[in-house]
Structure formats: C-alpha cells, structure tokens
Amino acid sequence: MRVSIVNVQAPFVRGGAEYLADSLAARIVARGHQVDLVRLPFKWYPPQAIADHMLACRLMNVNCAQADLTIAFKFPAYLAPGVNKRLWLLHQFRQVYELWGTEMSGMPDTAANRSLREMIIQADNEHLREAQAIYTNSHIVAGRLKQFNGIEATDVLYPPLDRPELFGLGEYGDYFFYPSRMTAAKRQHIAIEAMCHVRSPFKLVLAGRPDSEEYGLTLDRLIAKHRLEDRVVRLGWISEEEKARWMNGALAAVYLPFDEDSYGYVTLEAFHAHKAVLSFTDSGGVNELVVHNCNGRLLDPTPTSLAAAMEDLWSNRSLARDMGNAAHQTLKHHRIDWDHILDTLLG
C-alpha cells in the first residue's frame, strides 16, 4: 500500500507533531508499505500570512502521488485533498478557537483578525468533513472539535513514543526532571518559583531549548533573583539518550503545560521510566493520563502547591515508587503502542 503522510512545519522548528510524523512513517515502512512524508511550510505570523498557507494547502494535489491512503495531521495540512483521507488530528488552529480572546491567542480582537477567524472556522467546518475518519490524540481535542465545529471524532488514538526502549526503571534520585521545549505555555517559570518554597536538598533539572531568547532570559533572571543557581539546573538541548538517562534516574517528572492538546511526550517518557508526573489541574490532555494520587499529582497551578508535592514525594520514596509503578501500568491500560495505532490507521 502507498501512504501519503501530510503535515506542516515551520522551517527549522521541530516539535511533537514533526516527531510523530517521522515515527509514524518509519513504523508504516517497517510493516512493508511505501510512504511519502509531505511537509508543507507554514508560517502563522503575521496573521495575514495564514490565508495564503491555507490556500497553498488546499491547492496541494496529494492525489498525484497515486497514494492508496492519505493521513493528515494538523492545520492547515488537513485542508489538502487526498485519496481515502484520514486525520490524526493533533490540534486545530487554537488561536481562533479556545485561545481566542485570551492572552495566549496572540491575535488581537481586530476586524481583520475576526474576518480571518471566521474564514478558518468555515474552512474547518467544510473540509474536515471530507475525511473518512477523524482520530484525535486526546479527548480534549475531540471535545473541541465537537464544541466548535459540531463534528464527532471517530476515536482517540494516543501517540506512543518512537523509542520506548530507552526508558526504564532506574533509581529514584535526588532531583525532579522537566524536559520540554521552554515557553511560557509550558510554565517552566512556575517550576523555578516553586523551588523558592522548598527546604529539602533536592534539585530541579530543566532540559530543552527556549522558544525565544526572551523567555530563556526570563528563566535565567528568576534563577538569579532567587539565588537558585545551586538548586535549579538548566541543561539546554540534550539528545534522546541523555534525556532517557536523566528521566530514568529522577525521583519524579514535572510537566506543567497550560491546556495541552494531549498528554505530551514528557508524560509518556516518565511513565515508561516508572516515574510519577506532577502536573496542574489546568494542563488539559495531561489530565487524561495522570490520575491524582495514583500515578502522579494534579495540583493547583501555583508554585506553593508544586513545592508541597515535591516535598511530599521527597520525604516518602516508597510513595514515589508506588506511583511510578502505577504510571507504567497506565500505558497498557490505554493501549499506547504502535501496533494499535497502525492497525487502526491502516485498517
């Protein structure tokens, strides 16, 4: 079978969607099929450029590849026509949906932006219905699709890790690990502020590149302001192998996104490493896998609540181990594995 995987990518920017597209392509090839991975450039700023990219995707003739199946991911890639098109919807253009009117939107409520918003919603309403099946990466994304577009998702497919074998049960060390792209929406600043309220001698280890120089400087200033240089470690970018070593040896993981589309790879990496996840009650899709006081903690989104949870796990290592083992069992319960994904998408 010939399969076209269609996704968008900002030049030189790689995140979870790009990682997932590469992983899916490799797994389909391993099953003996042919795959073309089509990456369409997408720039969401200034907002006026979005309409041009939508048109470019709509005019993209994926059919010319003579594919038997087309799998599309996120906006505006899913606007491209395709044979036997199925969506693995990671998210729509959130700025005009649930983030509209909030400080996270980045689109002021102007006449031009309102017109653009209406155009995006209208395009979604029309062209999402072209798909033979729409799978989402979380119940959160499925709920938004129903709420804003009146479209029912076919099912939820939780994305697995590409290399789960890197992660496994290790020691429960003297640090909490937070690996992620560094941006205000991931709220690494709150994790740093939490360290102002702890008295035990554990550390917070952050890994990842800042999305912007400004946010990186904000984190550095927070560390310096509160004199946390010996308590907070910033590793910067690290390889997958290094990340696995840090996760395998952590006491627990920290992951604090705001209204995340899915549970995030950090959650999966922690669960494969038998580590509990500390997150917030407003973290969105993370709350679908993290069960409070079972395989992690869902906390009020404040530095003090995070600090208290960290202190609790530090003082009770057996609790950290029990939660970590429950976290690992969660993977089997939800069938987060590639065989299930491929059987569904290719079937």
Residue 120 neighbours by CB distance under 10 Å: 22
65 has a pLDDT exceeding 70: no
| Identity of the residue numbered 330 | T
Look at residue 19 in the predicted model and tell me its pLDDT.
85
- Pick the more confident residue, 105 or 283: 283
Q: Where do we find the tokens 């010319």?
A: 64
16 has a pLDDT exceeding 80: no
Q: Domains plus CATH for the chain?
A: 2-157 (3.40.50.2000), 164-333 (3.40.50.2000)
Least confident of 43-57, 152-166, 271-285: 43-57
Look at residue 345 in the predicted model and tell me its pLDDT.
96
Which band of pLDDT confidence, cut at 50, 70 and 90, is reported for residue 62? Answer: low
Look at residue 103 in the predicted model and tell me its pLDDT.
82
Mean pLDDT value across residues 59-75: 82
Look at residue 63 in the predicted model and tell me its pLDDT.
64
pLDDT digits (tens, 9 = 90+) for 238-247: 999 999 999 9
pLDDT digits (tens, 9 = 90+) for 187-203: 999 999 999 999 999 99
Give, in order, the Cα–Cα distances in Å from 146 to each of 94, 100, 149, 261: 14, 17, 6, 14
Nearest CA-CA partner of 154 in 145, 164, 163: 145
142 has a pLDDT exceeding 80: yes
Look at residue 64 in the predicted model and tell me its pLDDT.
57
Strands lying side by side in the sheet with 85-89: 34-41, 2-9, 69-72, 85-89, 133-136, 155-156
CA angle 94, 96, 100 (to 5 degrees): 95
The overall average pLDDT reported for the chain is 93
What pTM does this model have?
A: 0.83
Residue 267 neighbours by CB distance under 10 Å: 27
Q: Give the span between the Cα atoms of 3 and 176, in whole angstroms.
A: 41
148 has a pLDDT exceeding 90: yes
Which band of pLDDT confidence, cut at 50, 70 and 90, is reported for residue 40? Answer: confident
pLDDT digits (tens, 9 = 90+) for 76-125: 999 999 889 999 999 899 999 999 998 878 889 999 999 999 999 999 99
Share of the chain above pLDDT 70, in %: 99
Mean pLDDT value across residues 129-144: 95
pLDDT digits (tens, 9 = 90+) for 312-333: 999 999 999 999 999 999 999 9
Q: Give the span between the Cα atoms of 143 and 146, in whole angstroms.
A: 5
Asked whether 62 and 77 are in contact (CB, 8 A), the reply is no
